[in-house]
């Protein structure tokens, strides 16, 4: 190639490369400029978003921590399996949770109530609501400690849906001063359970026993846990398997006796399982003392010691409630039920309303707490008249002619009449609350309080709403703070009608504020869920709740449970349709109802899971509210 042509070719290539480089540089500068512009805009947006986020966070925090307080015009609704906890520092009682079985569905509560007995003859009830609160539950435990103005500590329990049980293992602290809940999360803690018992021993919170229901089998527990309020840690107490200790159980009594350095376990309930045989329910009446000591290195040791039965021991029963009377170092026990389970078909039950005291110190001794008849004015004069009447009778025996028919003298007749009349007037035994089991008991100073519980009449189960008090230092008579409003208990021949009336009454009460299943978002969702059944297929023959899906229930389960209602509704719409067509329409109606309430159900289930619950699928025949569940 000639040199001139080569030079021209090189020059063109160089120009192209320069232009390409310049273009690339310009593009890079343009991209950098765009990047800076976007970055500036992004930073400006971030500053605006951050400000909005902070404002929203402030609003959310204020909303979540806001506590509402309401003075109730009516006392809390009927319930059992809740906790009634005394606050001796402020002379109040705190009622938390519980449940009520209306014959179709188990209603589970999480209301937080405070009772002030000093406000009038019937006291004053207040309800406190906070969004940061435990989920609805029953068969949980609550204890009180005095530090920091007073705190309530709550652990475990259960929430029962239509086909699932949710056992809880969450641990909460309620500040009585601020009325706010605080969840205490620890890596090591007791497993989820219900029917356990909890007590305070010095700086320790102690948990023992309970049960865990898988839907196929109920496992009763005998593990021992302590929570230190010094370092906020749980510790499981592992004892030698060779040591004697209480058998697994639930529904027992657990009382702290610090002056004796021990905690006492009494009674309870369990089931025994043998292959090929039906489970056998067993009530317990044994007693153990947990000795708690510190050695020279300040290491706490625990040892079980079985106690003998001494004194006037209560009859064998389950569902009895015992609470602690600090002034006398005594446990006070009320009620319970004795079951005679001879076969699968028959179950005979005896319900109790007697009162016992268990003196904790000195090895423990039982005594019967009988009400004392009041001393009448002029008792000495009546005694003198009685002696005179006896003397007159002795004299009259020497003069049988004056009374040939063996009748008494006029003076003696008059005296005897006065004695009988005085004996029947103002009998304190007539003030004793009706028999029940799973009642809530608490002692505030020297006064015993009894609220709610369960009573059975034939095949019917009645959850009670009455409240009574008794001055233990006087043992004169019970005071009725709130009368029982449950319909149908006394008239056994109208059981069927009364059951319907009772259910209707329960449905009306469920709409009240104190009947809602709350904790407060859960409360709102459940209230919406169970009060929007206006399109129920047949309101005359079914309750509203029957036509609604339950938490944990699939579409198929919902349809199988309620298909009769939907077939009935379909037959009204298509009277000429055959059975196959009716079933198809019925399923479509059920599916529409299920899908309508599905979002609410999902939110409820999510809230319960977030509260630390463990869902367990239950067998269809093990419906909540069954007798076996309530006896635990």
What does the radius of gyration of the chain's CA atoms come to, in whole angstroms?
35
DSSP state, residue 56 = H
Whether the pLDDT of residue 129 is over 50: the answer is yes
pLDDT score, position 412: 39
pTM of full prediction above 0.95: no
136-178 pLDDT, tens digit per residue, is 899 999 999 999 999 999 999 998 765 567 889 999 999 999 9
Question: Does residue 131 or residue 236 have the better pLDDT?
Answer: 236
Give me 110's structure tokens.
């999480």
Pair 545, 530: CB distance under 8 Å? yes
Phi-psi region of 323 (alpha: psi -120 to 50; beta: other; left: phi over 0): beta
CA atoms within 13 A on the CB side of 607: 25
Question: Does residue 596 or residue 35 have the better pLDDT?
Answer: 596
Q: What contacts 571, CB < 8 A, 6 or more positions away?
A: 577, 582
CA angle, residues 182, 184, 189, in degrees to nearest 5: 155
CA 201 to chain CA centroid, Å, is 23
Rounded-to-integer distance, Cα 237 and Cα 225, Å: 6
Question: Does residue 54 or residue 285 have the better pLDDT?
Answer: 285
**Cα diameter, the chain:** 178
- Nearest Cα residue to 437 out of 215, 268, 222: 268
Among 50-54, 272-276, 313-317, 486-490, the minimum mean pLDDT is found in: 50-54
Rounded-to-integer distance, Cα 466 and Cα 484, Å: 4
CA angle, residues 237, 223, 325, in degrees to nearest 5: 90
Pair 349, 456: CB distance under 8 Å? yes
pLDDT score, position 539: 35
Q: How confident is the model at residue 330 (pLDDT cuts 50, 70, 90)?
A: very high
Q: How confident is the model at residue 391 (pLDDT cuts 50, 70, 90)?
A: low
Question: Does residue 582 or residue 204 have the better pLDDT?
Answer: 204
Question: Does residue 20 or residue 500 have the better pLDDT?
Answer: 20
Q: What contacts 304, CB < 8 A, 6 or more positions away?
A: 239, 243, 244, 245, 246, 288, 289, 290, 291
CA 609 to chain CA centroid, Å, is 18
pLDDT score, position 623: 44
Q: How confident is the model at residue 47 (pLDDT cuts 50, 70, 90)?
A: very low
Whether the pLDDT of residue 107 is over 90: the answer is no
Question: Does residue 408 or residue 600 have the better pLDDT?
Answer: 600
Q: Where are the domains of the chain?
A: 48-372+432-482, 544-611
Whether the pLDDT of residue 595 is over 90: the answer is no
Rounded-to-integer distance, Cα 69 and Cα 599, Å: 30
Question: Does residue 4 or residue 330 have the better pLDDT?
Answer: 330
Rounded-to-integer distance, Cα 505 and Cα 487, Å: 8
pLDDT score, position 448: 98
Among 60-64, 86-90, 255-259, 300-304, the minimum mean pLDDT is found in: 60-64
DSSP state, residue 89 = T
Rounded-to-integer distance, Cα 99 and Cα 154, Å: 16
- Nearest Cα residue to 168 out of 203, 212, 126: 212
CA 383 to chain CA centroid, Å, is 52
Distance from the first to the final alpha carbon of the chain? 108
Give me 71's structure tokens.
């003075």
pLDDT, mean of residues 262-283:
89
pLDDT score, position 287: 96
Whether the pLDDT of residue 583 is over 90: the answer is no
Whether the pLDDT of residue 423 is over 90: the answer is no
Instruction: For strands 337-340 and 348-351, give the pairing.
Output: antiparallel
pLDDT score, position 382: 59
Q: Locate tokens 């349809």: which residue? A: 559
- Nearest Cα residue to 321 out of 224, 246, 254: 254
CA atoms within 13 A on the CB side of 348: 3
Rounded-to-integer distance, Cα 486 and Cα 468, Å: 15
- How many percent of the chain have pLDDT more than 90? 44
Give me 203's structure tokens.
């700086």
Pair 551, 608: CB distance under 8 Å? yes
Q: What contacts 237, CB < 8 A, 6 or more positions away?
A: 224, 225, 226, 302
182-193 pLDDT, tens digit per residue, is 999 999 999 999
Rounded-to-integer distance, Cα 578 and Cα 156, Å: 51
pLDDT score, position 218: 87
Rounded-to-integer distance, Cα 371 and Cα 258, Å: 29
pLDDT score, position 46: 38
Q: Which CATH superfamily is domain 48-372+432-482 in?
A: Kelch-type beta propeller (2.120.10.80)
Helix or strand or coil: residue 12?
helix
In the predicted model, what is the mean pLDDT of the chain? 77
Whether the pLDDT of residue 543 is over 80: the answer is no
pLDDT, mean of residues 551-577:
80
Alpha-carbon torsion (239, 320, 219, 172), positive or negative? negative
Whether the pLDDT of residue 452 is over 90: the answer is yes
Among 94-98, 291-295, 343-347, 483-487, the minimum mean pLDDT is found in: 343-347
Whether the pLDDT of residue 13 is over 60: the answer is no
Rounded-to-integer distance, Cα 436 and Cα 466, Å: 11
Neighbours of 476 (CB within 10 A): 15
Whether the pLDDT of residue 335 is over 80: the answer is yes
Give me 329's structure tokens.
């170092």
Among 93-97, 282-286, 590-594, the minimum mean pLDDT is found in: 590-594
pLDDT score, position 614: 61
pLDDT, mean of residues 407-420:
41
- Torsion angle in degrees (nearest 10) through CA of 160, 71, 439, 333: 140
């Amino acid at each position: 190639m000639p040199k001139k042509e080569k030079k021209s070719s090189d020059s063109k290539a160089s120009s192209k490369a320069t232009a390409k480089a310049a273009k690339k540089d310009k593009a890079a500068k343009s991209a950098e400029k765009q990047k800076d512009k976007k970055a500036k805009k992004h930073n400006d947006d971030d500053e605006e978003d951050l400000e909005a986020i902070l404002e929203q966070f402030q609003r959310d925090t204020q909303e979540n921590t806001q506590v509402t307080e309401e003075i109730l015009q009516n006392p809390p609704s009927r319930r059992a399996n809740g906790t009634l906890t005394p606050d001796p520092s402020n002379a109040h009682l705190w009622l938390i949770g519980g449940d009520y079985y209306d014959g179709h569905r188990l209603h589970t509560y999480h209301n937080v109530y405070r009772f002030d007995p000093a406000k009038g003859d019937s006291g004053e009830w207040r309800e406190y609501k906070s969004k940061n609160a435990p989920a609805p539950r029953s068969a949980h435990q609550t204890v009180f400690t005095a530090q920091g103005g007073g705190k309530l500590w709550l652990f475990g329990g259960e929430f029962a849906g239509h086909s699932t049980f949710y056992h809880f293992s969450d641990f909460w602290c309620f500040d009585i001063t601020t009325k706010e809940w605080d969840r205490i999360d620890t890596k090591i803690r007791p497993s989820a359970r219900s029917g356990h018992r909890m007590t305070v021993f010095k700086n320790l919170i102690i948990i023992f026993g309970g049960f865990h229901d898988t839907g196929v089998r109920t496992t009763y527990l005998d593990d021992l846990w302590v929570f230190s309020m010094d370092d906020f840690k749980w510790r499981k107490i592992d004892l030698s398997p060779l040591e004697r200790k209480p058998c697994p159980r639930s529904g027992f009594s657990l009382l702290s006796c610090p002056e004796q350095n021990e905690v006492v376990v009494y009674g309870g309930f369990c089931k025994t399982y043998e292959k090929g045989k039906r489970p056998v329910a067993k009530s317990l009446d044994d007693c153990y003392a947990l000795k708690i000591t510190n050695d020279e290195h300040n290491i706490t040791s625990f040892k079980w010691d079985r106690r003998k039965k001494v004194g006037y021991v209560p009859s064998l029963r389950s569902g009895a409630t015992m609470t602690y009377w600090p002034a006398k170092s005594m446990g006070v026990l009320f009620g319970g039920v004795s079951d005679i389970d001879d076969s699968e078909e028959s179950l005979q039950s005896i319900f109790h309303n007697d009162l016992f005291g268990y003196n904790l110190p000195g090895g423990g001794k039982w005594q019967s707490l009988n009400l004392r008849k009041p001393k009448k004015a002029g008792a000495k004069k009546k005694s003198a008249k009685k002696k005179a009447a006896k003397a007159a009778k002795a004299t009259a025996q020497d003069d049988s002619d004056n009374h040939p028919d063996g009748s008494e003298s006029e003076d003696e007749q008059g005296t005897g009449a006065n004695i009988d009349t005085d004996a029947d007037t103002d009998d304190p035994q007539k003030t004793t609350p009706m028999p029940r089991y799973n009642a809530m008991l608490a002692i505030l100073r020297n006064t015993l309080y009894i609220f709610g519980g369960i009573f059975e009449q034939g095949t019917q189960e009645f959850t009670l709403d009455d409240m009574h008090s008794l001055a233990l230092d006087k043992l004169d008579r019970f005071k009725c703070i709130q009368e029982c409003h449950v319909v149908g208990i006394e008239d056994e021949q109208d059981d069927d009608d009364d059951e319907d009336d009772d259910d209707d009454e329960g449905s009306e009460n469920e709409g009240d504020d104190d009947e809602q299943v709350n904790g407060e978002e859960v409360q709102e969702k459940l209230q919406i869920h169970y009060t929007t059944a206006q399109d129920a297929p047949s309101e005359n023959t079914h309750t509203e709740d029957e036509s609604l899906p339950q938490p944990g229930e699939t579409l198929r389960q919902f349809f199988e449970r309620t298909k009769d209602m939907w077939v009935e509704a379909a037959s009204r719409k298509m009277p000429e349709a055959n059975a196959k067509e009716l079933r198809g329409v019925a399923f479509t109606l059920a599916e529409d109802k299920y899908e309508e309430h599905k979002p609410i159900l999902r939110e409820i289930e999510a809230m319960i899971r977030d509260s630390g619950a463990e869902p367990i699928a239950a067998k269809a025949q093990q419906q909540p509210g069954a007798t076996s569940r309530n006896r635990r």
